[in-house]
Structure 1
Amino acid sequence: MSRVLILNPADDVAVALEDLAAGSNPRGLTTPVRDDVAAGHKVARHAIADGAIVRKYGQVIGRARAAIPAGSHVHTHNLAMADDSRDAEVGVDARPVHIQPGATFEGYVRADGRVGTRNYIGVLTSVNCSATVARRIADSFRPEDHPGIDGVVAFTHQGGCGGASMSSDVTLLQRTLAGYARHPNFAGILVVGLGCEANQIPDFMAREGLQAGPFLRAMTIQEAGGTSRAIEQGQAIVREMIAEAAEAKRQTVSAEHLTVGLQCGGSDGWSGVTANPALGAAVDRLVASGGSAMLSETPEIWGAEHLLLRRAVSQGVADRLNARLDWWRDYAERHQMELNNNPSPGNLKGGLTTILEKSLGAVAKSGSTPLNDVIGYAEPLTTKGLSFMDSPGYDPCSATGQIASGANLIVFTTGRGSVFGAKPAPSIKVASNAKLASWMDEDMDIDASPVLTGASLTEVGDLIFARILAVASGEPSKS
């Protein structure tokens, strides 16, 4: 007999554990299924009246567009958004964390005391005009020729000029570049500019409090005398950095030095059931070990923000989160958009229907510990434990901000199959279902689907936490 999963006794829907054929009688339902329902999609547990609230995870995910008979497929054709107010008593679920030291990893201890999980040389660009030179410099160094480092990587972008020197886009770019320049996964940084751009390197470094030195160097193409000379000069600087960086050795350090960026992409109906809450269990282990985690993608917590507000450690933290949500609502209205347009075609095909449903699953990545801080995009993370960083609901952009804020490792859950990877922070992939874990095994690090066959979220969370420590210690992730 085919089966369904009921996540909360108060739920109006069950989730199909496998494809259900119309007329079948799956265990867990009191009536036959009226429609074909794909695995990961929702089926009505009972009759739902037109306009009635519909719940999953014990939380509101929408309203019925029309009367929904028991056993019906519940999806975009009969489920709409619901803007009902959600209980957001600030701090009522914030519980003190009992720190349990003992977890360790092998990391690179930098001169300022911060700890890296990798040992890269980075080539940053102050402006789009220097992108080719930066890539040529980095590409001339093959990792296999320099075993003491993880590689030389260029980071390019499309900004830095064509605007006022202190416009919001330039200052945001400067903050992001400064976060990479300070990142502990780099043993050395070379900043390459053209020379006449709005984002002048000396001004940028002064504004961000960056001090030039042996491991933070800068140059411009115009001062070097052109493209080929700039490439040669950059190569010489990087060779000097490699010679020093190759001497660095990993040391045993506490897991308190880990800052993990939490990401999900290509989500499906299982993401909020298996991979995301299992990652949440791993985050609880990390925070209890003294470490830090960052949740992001502000448009993708809309509809579940009340769960975070209930865990806020102060009214100030709650106010900062609400301020960012208000900004995104205003932004969407100005551009004649709606935040509920967020679920992608892949999300919809995988069984997710509304942003409320997607957000409830996404927030599960954050575990259950208190929300200690809310920071802007790429702002330095200064608070231990769980924090929220404002960002768009777009994985590469969000992860870039998290890395600039100090994440030295990324954990990324997926149900449809994302192939995202990140340097300098290694990215661990967690598959929400067994089919994905097997079909895209060259990309997936962990299979969270055993949650559906008897494993507890704690057990799978422990596996994720163990992989976090292993990858932080130098074990390659699949990406």
Structure 2
Amino acid sequence: MSEVMEKSPVIRLDAADNVAVARVEIPAGTAVASEGVTALQDVPLGHKIATRAIARGEPVLKYATIIGFAGEDIAPGTWLHSHNVLVDDFQKDYRFSADYVEAQVLPEEERARFMGIRRKDGRVGTRNYIGIFITVNCSATVARKISAYFDEERLAQWPNVDGVVAFVHQQGCGMEMTGEPMDLLRRTLAGYIRHPNTAGALVCSLGCERNNLGEFFAGESLESGKMLRAITMQHVGGTAAAVEEGKRVIREMLDEANAIEREPVSAEHLMVGLQCGGSDGFSGLSANPALGKAVDILVRHGGTAILSETPELYGVEHTLTARAKTPEVGQKFIERINWWLTYNEGRDVQMNGRVSPGNNAGGLANVIEKSLGGSKKGGSTGINAVYEYAWPVLEKGLVIMDTPGYDPVSATGQIAGGANLVCFTTGRGSCFGSMPAPTIKLATNTPMYARMTGDMDVNCGTVIDGDRTLDEVGQEIFEKMLAVASGEKSKSEALGVGEEEFAPWPIGVTG
């Protein structure tokens, strides 16, 4: 592949494809010798060019997968994009479990290791935070004031504590009491409170909210103790009194949280949330498949990876159901796809055709093409389970968690499920970060990496440049996972990005 890219301005992904992807900007009139065509229009970097005639209504193929249908008769050399690649429904063969490949997990003594934080329950963390949580937005200011007090200067005497972070949200009252909305909020909060990266937690409530503190603790089997405390503003005397009480409680937790020592642990304790945002035409060629290579390595070492963003897997769901461990696992994924189709019906969202302006400018014609690239993050191994949003992930290997495509909401669900790292691919240059699980940013192309090097951890654009293979970059990503899990700060961490990105899914009615 490298040799071809050095000689050609395009990248061919599969012999069956009727398109190729522009590795560089291709001016009209440029001969593309490797494909035997001449560009009829300017083809922007990351966009597609027709490599043969495609009749109106004929499938457009990328990675030997349908990404849409020709909206007109298309001549060889034509620039292909959303103006002439149309989305239409087509019959999919789900082939449940037909392509399932069980991971060949290495013996324990051969697995990679990292310096982790072993908790009393046996789980392993990659960070050591004290979290301040709220039952309702009415207590958000209290939480923020408490966390702001424990700034870098004050925390210097507890060097093993990564920070005191307020995880605030906009929900907790004026919402549905029963069913999924309240259950989802509560299990998201509980997932963060129990998270192996959370050494201690303080929960702040107002006192009269629908997300009642006592019912929340009872429903999620949370028990107060030295490292899990609660404050109710209406009981302690209001805002100022609650802030002072919160400071006192956090001080009591800090000594115990600081007593941790990192120790060598197996990579089987890594659980990585897979994310992509600000995607471009190279996402499915470089960063996403390179991350997929890293996922394959992680799974061989006994670890876990969570593929999510369900609306951005729509259109290629049949390629994933074929990899499901059992037909029941595949069917559960299709049930979630069908739920999304109903949820999105009649709405102006990408699942019904249009991707974001940034995705479109970067070369993605529609959500199916975006999904094809996004699914590459999951590597090649079997899919062992499908979870609903924020449910605890118990299976090892590759799993799917149903989440929205919106990155902060999606990553919040993954972290609530237990992800202690996040790997995030981007082509346009997303500046996302997360706490308490750090985010590793993977750039799809070298120009963006060079422009935003302060935010990007790994340049996967070297694959597009022809300098490295997907396997080589996948190995680099895996090694970066181990380093960051051991305490090395990712770029987003060093910038302090992540506190504001806690975003539980607001799925229900606000009234």
Q: Does 1:206 align with 2:215?
A: no
Provide the C-alpha distance between the structure 2 equivalents of 1:171 and 1:163, rounded to a whole number of angstroms.
Answer: 11
- Residue type of the alignment partner of 1:475: E
Alignment partner, residue 149 of structure 2: 140
Provide the C-alpha distance between the structure 2 equivalents of 1:25 and 1:85, rounded to a whole number of angstroms.
Answer: 37
Alignment partner, residue 27 of structure 2: 21
Runs of 4+ in 1 over 6 A off after TM superposition: none
Determine which of 428, 448, 471 is the counterpart of 2:460.
448
Alignment partner, residue 194 of structure 1: 206
Provide the C-alpha distance between the structure 1 equivalents of 2:273 and 2:232, rounded to a whole number of angstroms.
Answer: 33
Alignment partner, residue 477 of structure 2: 464
Alignment partner, residue 314 of structure 1: 326
Alignment partner, residue 83 of structure 2: 77
Deviation at 1:35, TM superposition (A): 0.4
Determine which of 350, 374, 380 is the counterpart of 2:386.
374
3-state SS, counterpart of residue 72 of structure 2: coil
The worse-fitting range, judged by mean Cα deviation, of 162-171 and 67-76 is 162-171
Q: Does 1:434 align with 2:434?
A: no
Deviation at 1:309, TM superposition (A): 0.5
Alignment partner, residue 108 of structure 1: 117
Deviation at 1:26, TM superposition (A): 2.3
- Residue type of the alignment partner of 1:465: F
Q: Does 1:123 align with 2:129?
A: no
Alignment partner, residue 488 of structure 2: 475
Q: Does 1:172 align with 2:213?
A: no
The worse-fitting range, judged by mean Cα deviation, of 464-473 and 135-144 is 135-144
Provide the C-alpha distance between the structure 2 equivalents of 1:55 and 1:139, rounded to a whole number of angstroms.
Answer: 52
- The 8 Å contact of residues 50 and 64 in structure 1, kept in 2 or not, is answered as yes
- The 8 Å contact of residues 4 and 27 in structure 1, kept in 2 or not, is answered as no
Provide the C-alpha distance between the structure 2 equivalents of 1:272 and 1:163, rounded to a whole number of angstroms.
Answer: 39
Provide the C-alpha distance between the structure 2 equivalents of 1:55 and 1:31, rounded to a whole number of angstroms.
Answer: 17
For residues 102-157 of structure 1, the C-alpha deviation after alignment (integer angstroms, 9 at most, x for no partner) is 21111111111111100000000000100000000001001343222000000111
Cα RMSD between the aligned structures? 1.2
Provide the C-alpha distance between the structure 1 equivalents of 2:459 and 2:203, rounded to a whole number of angstroms.
Answer: 39
- The 8 Å contact of residues 127 and 159 in structure 1, kept in 2 or not, is answered as yes
For residues 32-64 of structure 1, the C-alpha deviation after alignment (integer angstroms, 9 at most, x for no partner) is 110011111000001111111110111001100
Provide the C-alpha distance between the structure 2 equivalents of 1:445 and 1:161, rounded to a whole number of angstroms.
Answer: 39
Provide the C-alpha distance between the structure 1 equivalents of 2:487 and 2:350, rounded to a whole number of angstroms.
Answer: 42
Provide the C-alpha distance between the structure 1 equivalents of 2:350 and 2:227, rounded to a whole number of angstroms.
Answer: 46
Determine which of 55, 64, 89 is the counterpart of 1:58.
64
Q: Does 1:94 align with 2:100?
A: yes
Alignment partner, residue 14 of structure 2: 8
1:342-361 equivalence runs, <5 A: 342-361=354-373
Provide the C-alpha distance between the structure 1 equivalents of 2:26 and 2:331, rounded to a whole number of angstroms.
Answer: 45
Deviation at 1:27, TM superposition (A): 3.3
- Residue type of the alignment partner of 1:64: A
Deviation at 1:28, TM superposition (A): 1.7
Alignment partner, residue 277 of structure 1: 289
Provide the C-alpha distance between the structure 1 equivalents of 2:98 and 2:276, rounded to a whole number of angstroms.
Answer: 27
For residues 343-401 of structure 1, the C-alpha deviation after alignment (integer angstroms, 9 at most, x for no partner) is 11001100000111110100000001110000110011111111111111100000000
Deviation at 1:454, TM superposition (A): 4.1
Q: Percent identity?
A: 52
Provide the C-alpha distance between the structure 2 equivalents of 1:143 and 1:467, rounded to a whole number of angstroms.
Answer: 26
Provide the C-alpha distance between the structure 1 equivalents of 2:456 and 2:349, rounded to a whole number of angstroms.
Answer: 34
Provide the C-alpha distance between the structure 1 equivalents of 2:126 and 2:34, rounded to a whole number of angstroms.
Answer: 46
Deviation at 1:337, TM superposition (A): 5.6
For residues 410-442 of structure 1, the C-alpha deviation after alignment (integer angstroms, 9 at most, x for no partner) is 000000000000010100000000001100000
- The 8 Å contact of residues 61 and 82 in structure 1, kept in 2 or not, is answered as no
Alignment partner, residue 42 of structure 2: 36
Number of paired residues? 479
3-state SS, counterpart of residue 472 of structure 2: helix
Provide the C-alpha distance between the structure 2 equivalents of 1:264 and 1:116, rounded to a whole number of angstroms.
Answer: 23
Alignment partner, residue 291 of structure 1: 303
Provide the C-alpha distance between the structure 1 equivalents of 2:407 and 2:321, rounded to a whole number of angstroms.
Answer: 23
Provide the C-alpha distance between the structure 2 equivalents of 1:5 and 1:37, rounded to a whole number of angstroms.
Answer: 13
Provide the C-alpha distance between the structure 1 equivalents of 2:325 and 2:423, rounded to a whole number of angstroms.
Answer: 24
1:393-432 equivalence runs, <5 A: 393-432=405-444
Provide the C-alpha distance between the structure 1 equivalents of 2:478 and 2:302, rounded to a whole number of angstroms.
Answer: 13
Alignment partner, residue 243 of structure 2: 231
Determine which of 278, 288, 300 is the counterpart of 1:266.
278
Extract unaligned runs of 5+ from structure 2: 1-6, 493-511
For residues 198-221 of structure 1, the C-alpha deviation after alignment (integer angstroms, 9 at most, x for no partner) is 111111011111111111111111
The worse-fitting range, judged by mean Cα deviation, of 319-328 and 154-163 is 154-163
- The 8 Å contact of residues 138 and 152 in structure 1, kept in 2 or not, is answered as yes
- The 8 Å contact of residues 344 and 352 in structure 2, kept in 1 or not, is answered as no
User: Structure 1's 438 and 337: CA in aligned 2 closer, same or farther, altered over 3 A?
Assistant: closer
For residues 175-207 of structure 1, the C-alpha deviation after alignment (integer angstroms, 9 at most, x for no partner) is 110101100101100000001111111110111
Provide the C-alpha distance between the structure 1 equivalents of 2:408 and 2:145, rounded to a whole number of angstroms.
Answer: 23
3-state SS, counterpart of residue 37 of structure 2: coil
User: Structure 1's 439 and 164: CA in aligned 2 closer, same or farther, altered over 3 A?
Assistant: closer
Provide the C-alpha distance between the structure 1 equivalents of 2:55 and 2:354, rounded to a whole number of angstroms.
Answer: 26
- The 8 Å contact of residues 350 and 356 in structure 2, kept in 1 or not, is answered as no
User: Structure 1's 337 and 119: CA in aligned 2 closer, same or farther, altered over 3 A?
Assistant: closer
Give the TM-score taking structure 2 as reference length.
Answer: 0.92
Deviation at 1:334, TM superposition (A): 5.4
- The 8 Å contact of residues 143 and 150 in structure 1, kept in 2 or not, is answered as no
3-state SS, counterpart of residue 345 of structure 2: helix
- Residue type of the alignment partner of 2:87: M
3-state SS, counterpart of residue 67 of structure 1: coil
User: Structure 1's 394 and 24: CA in aligned 2 closer, same or farther, altered over 3 A?
Assistant: same
